Chains A and B, each alone.
Chain A
Amino acid sequence: MSLPRTLILGALLTALFLGGALLSFVWTPYDIELLDIPNRLHAPDAVNWLGTDHLGRDILSMIMMGARTSIAVALLAVGIGMGIGVPLGLTAAARRGSLLDEVIMRGNDLIFAFPSLVIAILITAVFGAGASNAIIAIGIFNIPVFARVTRGAALSFWSRDFILAARVAGKNKARISVEHILPNIANLLIVQGTIQFSLGILAEAALSYIGLGAQPPTASWGRMLADAQTLASIAPHVALIPGLAIVLMVLGLNLMGDGLRDLLDPRIRVART
């Protein structure tokens, strides 16, 4: 069985940015904290591969550092969502129809009912702009997504024979959830995680764009876009490059998510073989 093409392309794009972000810990072409105003707005050339921005900083270095910010924020936000959402979903499924199930799921509906970005703006506006508040704001909106996916998937397993067998063997609900249900829905969670990760990247860019994400001098793709706004007609590359970075990263993650689903979903797997 060969890997789906979308998975390969997606993984390559993701690996490119992930690699850049990791590399930035040890090396970037230039120091992004050094401003070189006389050399600002240079088009891409041999010296600055992706050109320089409005303060003369090397855009390639900024993109690498920005990838680090985006990935860190999105990863932690997905972590919060999974860490809280999955146990909630498992609990709700295990106690299906109980009051607890109702409370958890209606609570999720409540969070879901709010437009996530607007609430993220509210959170960062109230508690102060910055990467950590952006992580919390984006993370909160990942919780109901994971809770729902987990509950829905878990429910379908609770009526299966092997779960029945486990119950007869005397395992309690919590143990069954962790030992039998979680491994069976892990593939779904991974796929959902990839999608949420790409949404996290977008949300981080959106928050930074309006000045509520990571603060300077931390590089951020959203802020690079915002800074480039009035320069689009003078030096288009300054706006195009961070924009492309966001598009490619999100595209890569989505392709990878699709590919993973194709690969991991048992029904599709059966259909293929």
Chain B
Amino acid sequence: MKRLTTLMLAGSTALFASAAFAQHTHVNVAMQLEPPNLDPTAGAAQAIDSVVYSNIYEGLTRFMSDGSVVPGLAESWDISEDGLTYTFHLRDGVTFHDGTTMDAEDVKFTLDRARAEDSTNAQKALFANIAEVTVIDPLTVQVTLSAPTGALLFNLAWGDAVIVAPESIGEAATHPIGTGAFMFADWVQGDHINISRNPNYWGTPAVLETATFRFIADPTAAFAALMAEDVDVFVGYPAPENLPQFEADPRFQVLVGNTEGETILAMNNAREPFDNPLVRQAVAHAIDRQAVIDGAMYGLGTPIGTHFAPHNPDYVDLTGLSTYDPERSRALLAEAGLPDGFTTTLNLPPPSYARRGGEIIAAQLRAVGIQTEINNQEWAQWLETTFRGRDFGLTIVSHTEPMDINIYANPEYYFQYNNPDLQALMTTLNETTDPARRTELLQQAQTIIAEDYVNAYLFELAVPTVARAGIEGLWLNQPTAAIDLTAVSWP
């Protein structure tokens, strides 16, 4: 027995020694969900971008952690007077991980593929106004638009617009080949993905030599993995109630950043009784946002009154339109002809903002006479029945895409809001390049949907990142889903 203990001790010392040695060039990153595939240009899952954005794939432009858009593979660009022609000047000497050169042909291939009729790109709307992509010379590419698109440079920074090569795109779902500072190494499905430093990177090389992404969905397991130091960084840590413990522990640092995630109680605008604006207003007034933020998120999150990120300079604070006022809510229900309230379904996807928030919201709605039947759904089920099937009364979800107020212009979108005025406004917005005018239009749109009480706007989701003390270079905010490791280093 004693010998065994000694052996085990020796073994664990050896393990620790190697771990300590490896720490300076390797990082274990954990996130909640595993990506279904690794091709960001063909899948909608945020988890794909979390792994590949900036690490493996790069676009013509790119997001920084503060949400700004900066040059990526395009060094610079010229915009014609009428705003219809963008000429991108590509960086010289950029190669894909398989050794092939990245040039104007690849850009043309990428953009043509994304906007093609049979494209499986999850965000085809980003490319909708592109009329033609022309190769001028290997390092110059011209994008012609059918209508001025003020947000083109922003659109091209999305993970769905990264530059891919025709030679390697066939394998992208399982073996992504991009131009980034890291190369894909291997993927053991259900367990981890390894990436390693790209020695031929065109820009500042990554500090880390290798990194591992692990997927830990269960909050208890996430807590244990961090405490045992099995993972060094957890992006999107799922249990906000544990954050004070990590903050108090000198081994860890906690970063709380903002996201583009408008967390809303979505109402089925096409279904009775939510087709009545009075009922929607009653729901909005029945909800105590602060109680939801405190109860479900332990205080993490900024209240919002419309579908817009509060850290965006164009945000208008409209929370005053939907203050917590149960009396008013009951009066509105009576005015809508439902003095005794009604019963509806509340479909909840797995994240705690939905499951816990749902329990709190159900209690708040019950207080004004609205009974809810809670259905806890897994993501696949939620996407199938609630999102695509639109079979729901109420649901809670966080819309993490950046600048996605245009979803309100799509009457087919799951909450089925159909307002021609807003649709016209969004078309105008798309064609406007003047920043001041864009701000004005965006603010008008925010006000319209808030005054129409399309959905009940709860809070902007915060993203907590728990990391080992001393690790630097992590993104604080999540302007897009990304775990950019290119600047990450150990002390």
Report Cα–Cα, A202/B376, bound state, in Å: 21
Residues in B neighbouring A35, C-beta threshold 8 A? 291, 295, 359-360, 363
B89 to chain A, nearest CB (A): 50
Let me know if B241 and A231 touch, CB within 8 A. yes
Residues in B neighbouring A37, C-beta threshold 8 A? 291, 294-295, 360
Residues in B neighbouring A34, C-beta threshold 8 A? 363
Residue A173 at the chain B interface, CB threshold 8 Å: no
Let me know if B374 and A215 touch, CB within 8 A. yes
B193 to chain A, nearest CB (A): 26
Q: Of the candidates A40, A129, A229, A230, which one forms a contact with B376 in the assembled complex, judged by CB atoms under 8 Å apart?
A: A129
Report Cα–Cα, A23/B220, bound state, in Å: 34
Residues in B neighbouring A229, C-beta threshold 8 A? 219-220
Interface of B is mostly: helix
Residue B366 at the chain A interface, CB threshold 8 Å: yes
Interface residues on chain A, number (Cβ under 8 Å): 21
Let me know if B223 and A211 touch, CB within 8 A. no
Q: Of the candidates B241, B360, B375, which one forms a contact with A230 in the assembled complex, judged by CB atoms under 8 Å apart?
A: B241
Report Cα–Cα, A216/B358, bound state, in Å: 9
Residue A233 at the chain B interface, CB threshold 8 Å: yes
B392 to chain A, nearest CB (A): 14
Report Cα–Cα, A38/B291, bound state, in Å: 8
Residues in A neighbouring B295, C-beta threshold 8 A? 35, 37, 40, 54-56
Residue A217 at the chain B interface, CB threshold 8 Å: yes
Known A-B contacts A54-B241, A55-B295; the reply to A230 vs B223 at CB < 8 A is yes
Report Cα–Cα, A128/B345, bound state, in Å: 14
Name the residue on A nearest B373 (C-beta): A215
Residue B64 at the chain A interface, CB threshold 8 Å: no
Let me know if B376 and A33 touch, CB within 8 A. no
- Interface flags for B357-393 (1: CB within 8 Å of A; 0: not) read 0111011001000000111100000000000000000
Residues in B neighbouring A110, C-beta threshold 8 A? none
Let me know if A234 and B242 touch, CB within 8 A. yes
Report Cα–Cα, A111/B126, bound state, in Å: 54
Known A-B contacts A37-B295, A217-B362; the reply to A233 vs B376 at CB < 8 A is no
Let me know if B363 and A33 touch, CB within 8 A. yes
Let me know if A216 and B245 touch, CB within 8 A. no
Name the residue on B nearest A218 (C-beta): B374
Residue B239 at the chain A interface, CB threshold 8 Å: yes
Report Cα–Cα, A38/B360, bound state, in Å: 13
Report Cα–Cα, A227/B360, bound state, in Å: 13
B439 to chain A, nearest CB (A): 36
Let me know if B241 and A217 touch, CB within 8 A. no
Residues in B neighbouring A234, C-beta threshold 8 A? 241-242, 244-245
Let me know if A216 and B359 touch, CB within 8 A. yes
A39 to chain B, nearest CB (A): 11
Interface members, chain A 221-266 (any B CB < 8 Å) = 227, 229-231, 233-234
Let me know if B362 and A216 touch, CB within 8 A. yes
Let me know if A230 and B362 touch, CB within 8 A. no
Q: Which of A40, A215, A231 has the most CB of B within 10 A?
A: A215
Let me know if A230 and B359 touch, CB within 8 A. no
Name the residue on A nearest B239 (C-beta): A230
Report Cα–Cα, A230/B219, bound state, in Å: 7
Report Cα–Cα, A33/B291, bound state, in Å: 15
Residues in A neighbouring B241, C-beta threshold 8 A? 54, 230-231, 234
B206 to chain A, nearest CB (A): 33
Residues in B neighbouring A230, C-beta threshold 8 A? 219-220, 223, 239, 241-242
- Interface flags for A51-82 (1: CB within 8 Å of B; 0: not) read 00011100000000000000000000000000
Name the residue on B nearest A212 (C-beta): B376
Name the residue on B nearest A35 (C-beta): B363
B282 to chain A, nearest CB (A): 19
Could you name 26 residue pairs across A and B whose Cβ atoms are closer than 8 Å?
A33-B366, A34-B363, A35-B295, A35-B363, A37-B295, A54-B241, A54-B356, A55-B295, A55-B359, A55-B360, A56-B295, A129-B376, A215-B374, A215-B376, A217-B359, A217-B363, A217-B366, A217-B374, A227-B356, A229-B219, A229-B220, A230-B219, A230-B220, A233-B223, A233-B245, A234-B242
Q: Which 6 A/B pairs are nearest by Cβ-Cβ distance?
A: A230-B239, A37-B295, A230-B219, A229-B220, A35-B363, A216-B359
